[in-house]
Chain A
Amino acid sequence: MLLNLIRYINLRQILSKPLRSFLLIAGITIGVGLFSSILLINKATLSAFKENVMNISGQADLMISAGKTGFSEEKIRIIEEISGIKNIVPLVEENTRLLIGNKSESLVILGVDLLRESAVRTYKVSNQEIMEDPLVFLNQPNSIIFSTILAQRLGLSLDSRVKIQTARGVKELVVRGLIEPEGAAKAYNGSIAIMDIDGARMLFAREDNIDRADIVLREKNSLEEIQQKLIGVLGPAYQVQAPQSINTDRLISVYQTILLLFGSLAFIIGLLLVANTTHIATVERRKEIGILRSIGATEKNILFIFLSESFLIGLVGSTLGSFLGFILAKSLVGQVTEALSAQSLMNVPVAVITYRPSDFLLAVFVGTIVSSAAALWPSYSASRLQPIEAVKNQVNMRSSKMAQHMSALMRSILSCFSFLRRSIVGRLAIDNIQRNFGRSIANIFALQLSLSLVITIAIINVSFQNSIFNWLDKILRADIVVSSAGALFSVQARPIHEELKLDLAAIPEVKENLASAPTAMRFLHFKYSDRTVAIKAFDDPGVESKYKMFDLPESEAVRIGERLFQSTERQVVVSNNFLSRFQKKIGESITLETPGGPLELSILASVKDFASNEGVLYLPRDLYKKYWNDHLVSAFYLKLKDSSQAIATRQLIDQKLGEAFHLQVVLNSEVKKGFKEGINNSFKYTKAIELAALICAALSMMNMMFISILERTREIGLMRAIGQTKMQTFSVFIYEAAIQGFLGVFFAIVTGFLCSFLWVNYLMSEILGWNIDFYFPIEIIPITFAIGILISVISTLVPAFQATQLSVRDGLSYE
């Protein structure tokens, strides 16, 4: 009997209200779609990362690394002494740009020792030899091997010439080998090329450093023992890991978690839609519930009927949502990868989205179960109705105190709209909202939730921008910044050899304009206490610069600058978030485990700096070079005698060195503009989530309005009978929507403000380590009101029009 009831009642209900069912399914589809697309993207990105590591690691049992600058190849001699090691193969990995005409594209270059390489990695070649002529290949620093797939795409063959950006400027390389895109050659989606290690080190000014040593063991079961020996011999500056145990960088995990969090909000809005609709359905079908109870249906039967209805709707919505998730994931993966690359400062490979049956089933299962769970409370309430109450269709107003308070609050808020009561339409709209308190609250809440998400993201974005902008205003006093082409914001401009400093100063016209010698700065990330901090190693800019790179009062900056650069003591200036993150105080010592050995430094001062959420360390570059054996420079800062000469000087540098070094020579204002764009790009991927949340809210609103029309069919008929025009009927709904939109925006601004305030002032610094200032962009208020009211009104247009089409006779005869 129960199954018959379910079949009859559920299907009848779903099919008899096709538009409502459609909207409900659409809401669940979007919610589940967005959520599962984020899951798919996250999973694919992580797996692409892992696959990259495994492809490049080849047969290696262990991999030794020591941060971004690598370590001296001399260490290999020490490693060789450890028994149980069969082979050690060095590797240098460089991210660079391949220059094709006026365009450029990303290229990862693996510098490998081709005379040892076969112990770890093998390359499949079409013509038997990886190098056409090894004697020529190895002795020529301009030799490069491409994967056939990349070569075909770029129209390259053996002996073709290509230009790439190196630390010593733009260099022309000769294709002296082609390999099939297998193993290491298929990493980074095939955008990979291979050079001999010495050639790569020469072009990228890596001195005698290597990024990694790959180790093959004699006995696989001695892995842990040899790993411990290596850690003991090399010291804490070195990471000794098995390829399969390498986790993706924590930065990626953080941003993926945020992405998932935002995606979950869209899902929650979809679920609110389910809860709300089920609630309305239970109210609407009171009489039916009463009859069913009277003929013997138990509370459990009623509960089951409503839950199974939500289950069916959830099943259909989740099934469609799962497919939508796949489509969304495929179209969004590129954007997400770009944003992740920019934020994590890593070359995140663009993942290929795979859609397995398990992904489909998981999305359907979770979507259906959660949709059913969302309907649990309204279904339970319906099942608790007494038959007599239900048959009489009496609404039991046993409201909780909380609901009564909310109702009173709503009434007082609505009193603000009393001016609308002057018109009959306005009065009817306000009365409707008051009378259908639950439904109106649901509408307002859905709108509030989605808009507060938009507002929170906007405020965080603006706070980031303004904080960084104000800070840059104080510390960036150079008129011109010179670096290799690339995004300065994400420090993706590849470093250049320090010898460019001499070239810059050697241009006579530039020299005349300079107030002081160009200041070189090396920026890189470095592991400290299991976290990734940033290092800024500066040349001493001299007292005349007033050491404005430190965000401190002028006299204090000069005092600190002189002590840091001119004292023989080993000292460091740290960022404020470094102190709080590592619980350190000024005057205390820290020890950096550098590739050149432990470096103990005394903390001299702390300053504001946004270069890293984990903390920033300022070092004199001479000291840095000594311990990291790194002569590369991330940017050169030029201060001119006369700032008005900046554009002319920039042109000169561009003419003389721009093309040869593939430089970007940017003015102070352009650096700031670049940072602004960079921050906006970091928030780009949240736009889709914001849009989905707004669509869910609009669907919820439309659904509620349809329900409202059904509920008020008789009332509409009556009003029309006593002379209400179609236009007035239409206007009542539009007024109602506008008021609800207004209230949704009002509450969204309050909650958005509170959420963003909490995020910016507490959570951002506590969880992520960003100490940014809170800025509330006042212009957000009118914009949000416009968006919120517009969404409400637009989503009500169709239901309102449908209400006008109702004839007086149909309305009056409606039960």
Chain B
Amino acid sequence: MNKLICILIFSSQIAEAALPILEAKGVMAKNEQARQLSDVKADTKLTNIDKGGSENVKKFTWWRKLAPNKVNFNTLTRFQSPAEIRDEAVLFLEKENGKSEVLLYLPAFKKTRRVENQAQSQSFMGSQFSYSDISTPDLNSFDYKLLPESTCHDGGVCYVVESTPKTVEVKERFGYSKQIQQIRSDNFMVSQVEYFNLEGQKLKKLMAYENKEVDSQNSKWMAHRLEVENFLNSKKTKIEFSNVKVNQGISDALFAPQNISRK
């Protein structure tokens, strides 16, 4: 989720009719650069929609800060509602090698639990996102292939890049055999992603909406609404951001594992 949110936060200029010639990895590198916002805080609403259309809503506050390596992010999510999950928190610490440390704080037990790597390819807390969807991928862990450009779902022209894990280990951690991303040519933000499961079936599709410029000084954008649909179970998840604040100088201490329980 975080990765997608981040990918979609920033955008540069809208592409002109003819796209500059770039290699696939170059497109992804620009995409990585485009989301290097110093920090961000937002109120978030996550809605899970089941096959029958019934909705389950969770609200949380979301903090994100660029790590000292200027590539990865640390993210803290703290839930406010419903009551059963109030004060639960997920701390996501991205590592350079693509592996992430994910910690879950459970207030009922006053205990912090670690989410193992294997579990990171699974659903993120009951949503249609997985933990790997919300992390920043290590550029060198994937092979990229540029596919013919296409029209973005929300208008404009998009680069189309197919990413394939280089090793079995990355594939297992990632949880997909490949993904096909539409990257906007104007701001290098993701417009749409199609995910293929380990058996090669098309598993789900993510769409980004309401791109807004959140840091005009540095020309950074953020998608304020993301929707993902799972084709195998016909479930959907929607994330909406509001009250977005950037470059507020969030303290590193907020992302320290020992502080995960502090409200």
Q: Are B123 and A139 in contact (CB under 8 A)?
A: no
**For chain A residues 111-145, which have a beta carbon within 8 Å of chain B?**
113-119, 127-129, 131-136, 138-141
Mark each residue of chain B from 116 to 150: 1 if its CB lies under 8 Å from any CB of chain A, else 0: 10110011011000000000000000000000000
Q: A116-B119, A131-B126, A133-B56 are in contact. Are A139 and B114 (CB under 8 A)?
A: no
Q: Are A136 and B84 in contact (CB under 8 A)?
A: yes
Residue of A113, A119, A133, A140 with most chain B CB atoms under a 10 A cut-off:
A133
Specify which chain B residues have a CB less than 8 angstroms from the CB of A736 in the assembled complex: none
Q: Is B79's CB within 8 Å of the partner chain A? A: yes
Q: Are A135 and B118 in contact (CB under 8 A)?
A: no
Specify which chain A residues have a CB less than 8 angstroms from the CB of B168 in the assembled complex: none
Q: Are B84 and A134 in contact (CB under 8 A)?
A: no
Residue of A117, A129, A134 with most chain B CB atoms under a 10 A cut-off:
A134
Interface residue from A119, A127, A139 paired with B118 (Cβ < 8 Å): A119
Mark each residue of chain A from 89 to 128: 1 if its CB lies under 8 Å from any CB of chain B, else 0: 0000000000000000000000001111111000000011
Q: Is A202's CB within 8 Å of the partner chain B? A: yes
Q: Are A135 and B109 in contact (CB under 8 A)?
A: no
Specify which chain B residues have a CB less than 8 angstroms from the CB of A119 in the assembled complex: 116, 118-119
Q: Are B232 and A139 in contact (CB under 8 A)?
A: no
Interface residue from B56, B85, B111, B116 paired with A87 (Cβ < 8 Å): B116
Q: Are B108 and A140 in contact (CB under 8 A)?
A: yes
Specify which chain A residues have a CB less than 8 angstroms from the CB of B108 in the assembled complex: 139-141
Interface residue from B107, B116, B233 paired with A128 (Cβ < 8 Å): B233
Specify which chain A residues have a CB less than 8 angstroms from the CB of B118 in the assembled complex: 87, 116, 118-119
Specify which chain B residues have a CB less than 8 angstroms from the CB of A136 in the assembled complex: 82, 84-85
Alpha-carbon distance between A127 and B84 when the two chains are bound, in angstroms: 22
**For chain B residues 63-106, which have a beta carbon within 8 Å of chain A?**
79, 82, 84-85, 88, 104, 106
Specify which chain B residues have a CB less than 8 angstroms from the CB of A134 in the assembled complex: 123, 125-126
Mark each residue of chain B from 210 to 245: 1 if its CB lies under 8 Å from any CB of chain A, else 0: 000000000000000000000011000000000000
Q: Are A139 and B113 in contact (CB under 8 A)?
A: no
Q: A87-B116, A133-B56 are in contact. Are A138 and B122 (CB under 8 A)?
A: no
Interface size on A, residues (CB 8 A): 23
Alpha-carbon distance between A128 and B122 when the two chains are bound, in angstroms: 10
Q: Are A115 and B109 in contact (CB under 8 A)?
A: no
Q: A115-B116, A139-B84 are in contact. Are A129 and B123 (CB under 8 A)?
A: yes
Specify which chain A residues have a CB less than 8 angstroms from the CB of B106 in the assembled complex: 138-139, 198
* A173 CB → nearest B CB, Å: 14
Interface residue from B104, B107, B126 paired with A115 (Cβ < 8 Å): B104
Interface residue from B88, B111, B114, B233 paired with A135 (Cβ < 8 Å): B88
Alpha-carbon distance between A116 and B108 when the two chains are bound, in angstroms: 19
In the complex, what residue of chain B is closest to A202 when comparing beta carbons? B109
Specify which chain A residues have a CB less than 8 angstroms from the CB of B126 in the assembled complex: 129, 131-135
Interface residue from B104, B114, B232 paired with A138 (Cβ < 8 Å): B104
* A554 CB → nearest B CB, Å: 49
Q: Is B58's CB within 8 Å of the partner chain A? A: yes
Q: Are B85 and A127 in contact (CB under 8 A)?
A: no
Alpha-carbon distance between A243 and B79 when the two chains are bound, in angstroms: 40
Specify which chain A residues have a CB less than 8 angstroms from the CB of B111 in the assembled complex: 198
Q: List 20 A-B contacts (CB under 8 A).
A: A115-B104, A115-B115, A115-B119, A117-B119, A118-B118, A127-B233, A135-B84, A135-B85, A135-B125, A135-B126, A136-B82, A136-B84, A136-B85, A138-B113, A139-B85, A139-B108, A139-B109, A140-B84, A140-B108, A141-B108
Top 7 A-B residue pairs of the complex, sorted by shortest distance between their CB atoms? A116-B116, A135-B85, A133-B126, A115-B115, A118-B118, A198-B109, A119-B118
The residues of B with any CB-CB pair to A shorter than 8 Å are 56, 58, 79, 82, 84-85, 88, 104, 106-109, 111, 113-116, 118-119, 122-123, 125-126, 232-233
Given A117-B119, A131-B126, A133-B125, 5 more A-B residue pairs with CB atoms under 8 Å apart are A113-B113, A116-B114, A119-B116, A140-B84, A198-B111
